[in-house]
Chain A
Amino acid sequence: MTADMDARTRRVYLVLLLAPLFLLAFLYLYPLSRVLWLSVTVPTPGFGNFERLFTSSGIQNVIWTTLRICVFTTALALLIGYAVAYAALHLRGWRGELLLFFVLLSFWLSVLIRAFAWLTLLQSRGLINTWLMNVGIIDAPLTLIRNEFGVVLGMVHYMIPYAALPLYANMKGIDTRLVPAARGLGASPVQAFLKVYLPMSLPGLISAGILTFIFSLGFYVTPALLGGGKTIMISEYIAVQINETLNWGLGSMLATSLLLAIFALLAVLSFFVDLRKVFGVK
């Protein structure tokens, strides 16, 4: 609806549009492009850094670890998030609201505090090991952190609200009258769910899944603390390249690859849903 605007109004709104864009370009896109630039110019111009994706087994290890952890995290967060969203929506009265309250609470709580809480519980002299040894179930402490188990646990804990909240929003739009209709036609509760409800919630499930996976890929704090330097995901690996070995070529190449992977996933996502809807601007 630009036709009905006079020149003055147009000018006002163009300034409103272009001023933030200019700042974003200078303070965000320019720094970002610098990372991309470094990946093909440091230490020597060319794609030498990217070749290491195919030749270095250390890097491939980190990538596989990252992918494995993200797949487990996404699958578990979706499963649990789906159950929570479903229950929150279909429970009558205060129970559903209470469920949602706890999900939102968890959503707002700090990522560092989560990791700290898990460390308190899972360390070798943490509460769980101390308790198990006092009761006499185990003699030596279990290794619950500094491995993939600890990282996945912490990440699932973080990602459940990120899966549950979009799923909840999506399920709200589903016409639930179809389920009793299926039941009336003789379907068992499980059949009605699998054949009617689940297919209708599939677009929401796919977009929540891809978003959860994208967020998981870039995780830094949780894997760094619960992986304890043993289980290393790509973000922490990049940080080590920059902070400890000052290897900007390798670090920026991995950052660029991570970014490209995420944009590729978003492109896939855009086949299933309108991206503007996913990010809440439509």
Chain B
Amino acid sequence: MDLAPSKPFRITVFGAWLAILFLTLPFAVVFPVSLTPQRYLSLPDGELSLRHYQTLLQDPSWILSIRDSLIVATGSTLVAIVLGTMTALACWRISSRASELVRMAMLAPMIVPSIVHALGFYQIWAQLGLLDTYLGLILAHAMKGTPYVVISVSAALANVDLRLEQAARNLGATALQALWKVIIPAAKPGMAAGSVFAFALSWDELVVTLFLSSRGVYTLPRKIWDGIQDNINPAIAAVASLMIVLTVIAMVVRILLARRQARLAAVPTEP
């Protein structure tokens, strides 16, 4: 294309790379800070130290907050997968105005600002005795995660022929058997993608958590938040570094898996 070599295009590309620098450099700074031998935030001055990583391993409060985050994120992801998949399946099969409305209603937690539903959860959870419990946090996070499962399962089902169900029925399957053995397998890639979203969302959730939990359930974002507010120190940089590395690994694995799948299927997929 003769668009490529033009000067405005080169300027745009240059600008895009600058934007990428802007996006990534702040994260890159976290790594050297986590290796500082000092007790305050600073770049290491010649000498490198792992003392802040040691703190993470030795201070039980970090381990416990990671445990709490894992419990809440896993629980809420499971609930969100069940609710989101049910909704997406029903809307795919029924496909009426009413089911469209239900689907839009299920998406509400994605649009409503966190602070607004945080107030609502706080009010009702206080009545139900769910404040500062795992169940309370799991249910609230599940509500926030469900829309993402609805969206990704709906996307996975968009290309599944409705007659597939009919074919299974004609071959003697009951409605439930057709659902379980034919349609849910087709929805699985969407369920997987949606669960990644729901998990990441809960893992990173802070605003609702701030309102619903205090000391009984103390998630990692809560611990980082308190750390930044009270006593900002390089141990947070160490946690941040680990989380960045894990995110990069997860993304690279995902891309490699997608590549492999694409090679196997010999059809182009999205990068």
Residues of A within 8 A of B (CB): 1-2, 4-6, 8-9, 12-14, 16-17, 19-21, 23-24, 27-35, 38, 80, 83-84, 86-88, 90-92, 97, 99-106, 108-121, 123, 125-127, 130, 157, 160-161, 176, 179-180, 183, 189-190, 192-193, 214, 217-218, 220-221, 225, 235, 238-239, 242, 251-252, 255-256, 258-259, 262, 266, 275-276, 279-281
Contacts and interface: CB of A to CB of B under 8 A. Distances in A.
B257 interface: no
Interface of B: 1-4, 6-9, 12-13, 15-17, 19-20, 22-24, 26-27, 29-30, 33, 40-43, 83-84, 86-87, 89-91, 93-96, 99-100, 102-117, 119-125, 139-140, 143, 146-147, 150-151, 154-155, 162, 165-166, 169, 174-176, 179, 200, 203-204, 206-207, 210-211, 221, 224-225, 228, 232, 236-237, 240, 243-244, 247-248, 250-251, 255, 271
A85 to B, nearest CB: 8
Given A130-B42, A279-B107, A280-B151, 10 more contacts: A13-B94, A24-B105, A29-B108, A35-B120, A87-B17, A100-B271, A111-B206, A112-B228, A259-B112, A275-B104
Considering residues B41, B99, B154, which has the most beta carbons from chain A within 10 angstroms of its beta carbon?
B41
A102 B23 contact: yes
User: Chain B interface secondary structure, helix, strand, loop or mixed?
Assistant: helix
A91 B248 CA distance: 23
A116 B228 contact: yes
Contacts of B2: 180, 183
B30 A110 contact: no
B175 A12 contact: yes
Given A84-B16, A176-B1, A106 B120 contact: no
Question: Can you list the 5 inter-chain pairs with the closest CB atoms, starting with the nearest?
Answer: A218-B113, A31-B120, A87-B16, A17-B90, A16-B90
A108 B247 contact: yes
A238 B1 contact: no
Nearest to B207: A220
Given A20-B87, A218-B114, A251-B119, A117 B26 contact: yes
Contact of B111 (A118, A180, A262): A262
B24 A102 contact: yes
A126 B237 CA distance: 13
A24 B106 contact: yes
User: Chain A interface secondary structure, helix, strand, loop or mixed?
Assistant: helix
B123 A35 contact: yes
6 contacts: A17-B102, A19-B86, A29-B108, A104-B251, A161-B23, A220-B113
B139 A27 contact: yes
B240 A117 contact: yes
Given A34-B124, A101-B255, A180 B95 contact: no
B87 A84 contact: no
Contacts of A91: 13
A180 B3 contact: yes
B244 A30 contact: no
Contacts of B102: 17, 21
B194 to A, nearest CB: 11
A116 B89 CA distance: 40
